[in-house]
Each structure stands twice: as C-alpha cells, then as structure tokens.
C-alpha cells in the first residue's frame, strides 16, 4: 500500500527509538532516486534507505547494502558535504503528512533538515536549511514550469505540499463528520479520502469495516456515531503509539495496525514490513528492468548470429559442390573434340562413374571448349579454397551462438549482483559498449548445495563458471556439464565415484541449463584435471576428455540445502 499519515506516524515513532543521536557515517546513492545513509552508534550501524521511487517510495533499514557507483551522483556528493559526521537529533512528521523530516546538527550546532516526501510519483528527497527554509538541493528538481505552486530546486524556499480543501485529522469534529456524510451522495470511502488529509484507501476501508459497513457503503447509509467511534479508536492507537505492524496480501503489502477488513500476518516491526513488502517489490522491479535490458541485447546478438549461420551454411553447401566442377572440367578436357562450336551444354561420358553414365556440362557459347574447361577448373579451385574458410567461419558462428545461449541461460536465475557480472562479461566480449569509467564488479559466490556431506557448487554465469572450474576447483574434484547444451559448470567437492551423489549433481546440472524443462537430459562428468580452456575462448567455454555420461530428469533432484 502507499504510505498514509497513520503508517508514516508509526514508522517515525519506530525510527526515533532506534536512530536518534546516531552519527552519519556514510552516504551512498546506489540508484538514481535512492539514498542510503549509514548511521553509526557505539557497536552498531544502521543503513537507512530513503527512496523517492515513484512506484515504491519508502523509508526503511537495510540488511544488505547494495554496491554504489564509483563516481557518486551530484546529490550524493552534496549530502556528503553537508551531512557527513553530523548527528541525527530529530525525526518528525508534520501533522498527518506523508513526510518524514530527519533533523541533523553539525559540530557547530547548525541545523539541517532532510525531508523525505512519500507521495507516489510526486515523491522527493529535499535537503534544506530550517533556519531560513532555503533548499540546498533535491533528488528530483521540480521547476516552476512543472509545478507553478511549488518549486523544488536549489535556492528556492521549501514550502510544505498544498493540502487543498482537506481537513487535518486532528481538527476533525463529530459535527464536521456529520455534515460531510450528509453532504455526500456517493461512496463513503471516497468521501473520506477526498476530505481528510493523511488517509489512504486501506485506512478508509478499515474505518468503514470497523464501523460495521463494507468498503462500498454509501455515505447516507453510514451512521455518523459509529464511524466517529472507529475514528477515535484510530486516533487513540496513534496517540499511544499502540501500532501493530503486519504484512497484508501474502507479504506484498504492509499496515501499521492489524486490520479487520482483511487477513494479515503480524511482524516484529513496521520497518521489517516495509522492507519485505516495498523493498522486495522495488528490488524485483529493478531486477526485471535490468534483466530485460540485457536479455534484449543478447537476443538481438543471438538472432544476428542465427542469420549468419544460416547464410554461411548455405554458402558452405555451395562450396561442397566444388568436386563436381573438377569432374566436369576433366570430362570436358578429355572430350574437347566432341563439343560443337557455340554449344550451351554438352553431354559426355563420366569416366569417374563405373557405369559411364553421361554428365551434362553447362557451357558459355561465346567461349571455346578449352576456355570453358579452364573456367570450370578455376571455379573448382575457388570453391575448394573457400570451403575451408567458410567452414572455419561457420564453426566460429556456432561457437558464438552457443556462448550467447549460455548467457541467456545465466540470465534466467540471475540476481541483481550477478547481473552486474553478466553485464561486465558482455562488455568485455564486445556486446555492450565500454563505459568511460568501468564500475568494479565484486565477484558473486556460486550456488552451494549440500548432499550427504558433499558440496555441490553451481556457477551462476560464465565468469563464475571460469572462476569455479579453473581457479576454485581442485584437480581431483568432479566436474559436470550438460552434454552440448548451454548451462552451468557444476563441481562436486570432494570428488567421488558414488553413483547417487553423481546422479543428484547431474540433475542439478541439468536444472541449471537450457534443458531445464526437458527429460532424459545427457550430462557429462569427469575430473577437473581433464577440463581445459582453449586460448582465446569466450568466458565459460572449456574442452574436456575422459568423460562419462548419465541421463537425468532436471526436476528430479531432491530438496537440498542451499547456501
């Protein structure tokens, strides 16, 4: 659910208990609209993410901090300049607004306020001086051309968002509520949303259900007293900070109180609920966007490679006809005297055929039989020479297609961290342009399964496949890969001859390949000592020998412990 005034209040109270008096230790901007401020207290640190994402605006603590760009964006540099080393002395919410104000103080006791406005597509993060309300900078600049009522750019005055004709919840009286209900001819839920600041769809529905009505109830059907009593219960919860954080809709939504209107799962803190719902959703969308971008690049290259293979295969088929031109040249040379002048073709016995069946030879009537024979020999020589060249090109194109299919496979299960490796791989192999300043990519770790005291390690991309097989694996460990099918390198540690362990590892290798949805998939296995990478080969490509093959069902492997 989008933040409302009630859940914002709950989050502010929660963050106050954890973060006040913390010192700003580090500031990063891993994504265009997201800031991470690491707050330090004795013995512990708190990475706090502030996001102005138009779909998933949020504030919550992080368990794992994402990698940051080598060159910080301008807004991040400005925050570091003003906030590094300051103390967090206050966390407030103006009224019931969807705004969280983080108040900092430097060593000279000079104040600065970082306002996070959680307002959907209008979300923003604004640093300003509370003494004169002058904006120092914002993560999204809003000029007067975009919003003539509220300019959000450096140097402008920070003004709160306009509330329109809506009533502040603390100013709502029973008489006002009665008048609102009597004046409305539509649905009560929409009337509440339009009339009271800080309410969201979830909270408006909850008020109606707690009053004994459904979400679709009309205003004239609602008893003002019952609705007022539910409203007072809500105010009491907020006043006493008796919030009840929970997850809704199977973990895809959150709330600050246990609802009557729907099922919910209580969680220890609202911070956890927001991280699990909005944080996971934002991560999932970033993953899909990044993966889709790389998939489009690889698909385009794969389709180009397939067209090249088709053309080269056709050219090779023509080149393989070279022998027939030599035979025609020989027969024409032998039978020069039997060719009438100006003939367009001639039929002569084929002495290479045991039955001496005639062969029809096309001729250029403007040329002599002798010159026609020389022309056939010339074509034979050209095709024979071209055959080797085309065959080599075709083999290279097929290797490229195999590589691109292996990249597509690695994209299937990739996480955001692994996508960075794949992007670096595609850059190094020339499928993506080289950036002026390349980001340093930290290597990800392989999947790890545990089966009968054996580790089964699975490469997640071609870079990792190379690292796993050529650097991390020991010579006597077992190496597995789907036979002539793009997929992950799999290592069994320690090496073994146990058939059950080999079978499970083969099933895992088949699952992490392009044959995941197949049956009876062939998987080769051999010792690592028999696996080698040819010079100049693309990432992930190896050759191996002394292999044995098993046939497995990719989905048959048992539930194993993943680490």
Question: pLDDT exceeding 70 applies to what percent of the chain?
Answer: 97
Q: What is the mean pLDDT of each run of 10 residues along the chain (563 residues)?
A: 87 95 95 96 94 94 85 94 96 95 92 96 95 96 86 93 86 93 92 92 93 92 94 93 90 89 90 91 90 95 94 81 80 84 87 86 88 85 78 89 93 87 90 74 83 92 93 95 95 93 94 92 96 92 95 78 55
Across-strand partners of 362?
345
**Cα–Cα distances in Å, from 218 out to 115, 167, 231?**
37, 20, 17
The angle, 0 to 180 degrees and rounded to 10, between the axes of the packed helices 280-319 and 369-412 is: 160
Sequence-ordered alpha helix ranges (H) in 413-524: 416-428, 462-467, 499-511
Cis peptide before 542 (omega within 30 of 0): no
Query: 392 is written with which tokens?
Result: 């080599």
Query: Which of 361, 380, 399 represents a domain boundary (last residue)?
Result: 399
C-alpha Rg value of the chain to the nearest Å: 36
Q: Is the dihedral of CA 464, 470, 476, 480 positive or negative?
A: positive
Q: In 3-state terms, what secondary structure has residue 338?
A: helix
Q: Find where tokens 């040819």 sit.
A: 534
Within-domain flag for 147: no
Range of the domain at 557: 447-562
My answer on whether 12 and 126 are in the same domain is: yes
My answer on whether 120 and 244 are in the same domain is: no
Dump the DSSP string for 57-82. -EEEE-SSPPP--SS--HHHHHHHHH
Cα 280 to the center of its chain, rounded Å: 12
Within-domain flag for 157: no
My answer on whether 117 and 20 are in the same domain is: yes
CATH of the domain at 38: 2.30.310.10
Total tally of structural domains belonging to the chain:
4
Tell me how crowded residue 359 is: count the other CB atoms within 10 A of its CB: 19
What's the rounded Cα separation, in Å, for the pair 93 and 169? 14
Q: Find where tokens 């994209």 sit.
A: 411
My answer on whether 244 and 333 are in the same domain is: no
My answer on whether 103 and 14 are in the same domain is: yes
Residue 117 near residue 126, CB atoms below 8 Å:
yes
My answer on whether 261 and 208 are in the same domain is: yes
Within-domain flag for 316: no
Q: What is the pLDDT of residues 90-126, one digit of tens each?
A: 999 999 999 999 999 998 889 999 999 999 999 999 9
Across-strand partners of 490?
458, 480
Query: 406 is written with which tokens?
Result: 């292996």
Within-domain flag for 302: no
Q: In 3-state terms, what secondary structure has residue 513?
A: strand
My answer on whether 32 and 125 are in the same domain is: yes
My answer on whether 232 and 133 are in the same domain is: no
CATH of the domain at 262: 1.10.8.50
């Amino acid at each position: 659910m989008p933040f409302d005034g009630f859940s914002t209040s709950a989050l502010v109270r929660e963050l106050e208990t954890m973060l006040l008096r913390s010192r700003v230790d580090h500031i990063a901007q891993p994504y265009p609209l997201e800031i991470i401020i690491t707050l330090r207290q004795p013995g512990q640190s708190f990475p706090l993410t502030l996001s102005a994402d138009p779909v998933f605006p949020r504030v919550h603590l992080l368990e794992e901090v994402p990698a940051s760009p080598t060159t910080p964006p301008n807004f991040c540099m400005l925050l570091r300049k003003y906030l590094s080393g300051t103390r967090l002395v206050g966390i407030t919410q103006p009224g019931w607004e969807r705004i969280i104000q983080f108040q900092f103080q430097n060593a000279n006791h000079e104040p600065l306020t970082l306002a996070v406005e959680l307002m959907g597509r209008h979300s923003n993060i604004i640093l300003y001086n509370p003494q004169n309300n002058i904006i120092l900078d914002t993560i999204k600049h809003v000029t007067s051309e975009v919003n003539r009522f509220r300019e959000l750019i450096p140097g402008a005055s920070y003004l709160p968002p306009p509330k329109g004709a809506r009533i502040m919840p603390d100013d709502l009286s029973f008489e006002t509520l009665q008048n609102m209900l009597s004046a409305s001819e539509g649905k009560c839920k929409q009337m509440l949303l339009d009339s009271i600041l800080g309410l969201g769809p979830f909270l408006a529905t909850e008020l109606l259900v707690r009053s004994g009505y459904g979400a679709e109830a009309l205003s004239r059907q609602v008893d003002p007293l019952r609705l007022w009593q539910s409203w007072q219960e809500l105010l009491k919860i907020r006043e006493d900070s008796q919030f009840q954080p929970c997850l809704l809709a199977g973990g895809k939504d959150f709330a600050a109180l246990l609802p009557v209107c729907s099922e919910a799962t209580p969680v220890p803190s609202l911070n956890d609920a927001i991280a699990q719902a909005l944080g996971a959703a934002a991560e999932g969308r970033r993953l899909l966007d990044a993966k889709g971008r790389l998939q489009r690049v690889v698909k385009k290259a794969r389709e180009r490679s397939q067209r090249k293979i088709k053309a080269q295969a056709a050219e090779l088929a023509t080149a393989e006809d070279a022998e027939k031109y030599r035979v025609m040249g020989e027969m024409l040379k032998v039978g020069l005297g039997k060719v009438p002048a100006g003939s367009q073709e001639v039929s002569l016995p084929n002495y290479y055929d045991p039955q001496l069946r005639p062969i029809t030879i096309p001729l250029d009537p403007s040329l002599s039989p002798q010159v026609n024979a020389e022309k056939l020999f010339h074509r034979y020589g050209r095709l024979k020479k071209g055959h080797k060249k085309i065959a080599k090109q075709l083999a290279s194109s097929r290797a490229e297609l195999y590589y691109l299919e292996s990249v597509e496979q690695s994209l299937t299960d990739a996480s955001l961290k692994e996508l960075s490796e794949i992007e670096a791989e595609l850059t190094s192999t020339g499928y993506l342009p080289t950036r002026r300043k390349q980001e340093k990519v930290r290597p990800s770790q392989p999947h790890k399964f545990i089966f009968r005291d054996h580790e089964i390690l699975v490469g997640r991309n071609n870079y990792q496949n190379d690292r796993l097989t050529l650097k991390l694996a020991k010579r006597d460990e077992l190496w597995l890969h789907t036979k002539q099918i793009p997929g992950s390198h799999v290592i069994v540690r320690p090496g073994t001859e146990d058939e059950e362990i080999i079978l499970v590892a083969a099933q895992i290798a088949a699952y992490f390949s392009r044959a995941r949805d197949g049956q009876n998939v062939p998987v080769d296995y051999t010792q690592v000592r028999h696996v080698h990478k040819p010079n100049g080969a693309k990432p992930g490509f190896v050759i191996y020998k002394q292999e044995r093959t098993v046939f497995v069902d990719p989905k048959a492997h048992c539930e194993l412990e993943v680490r």
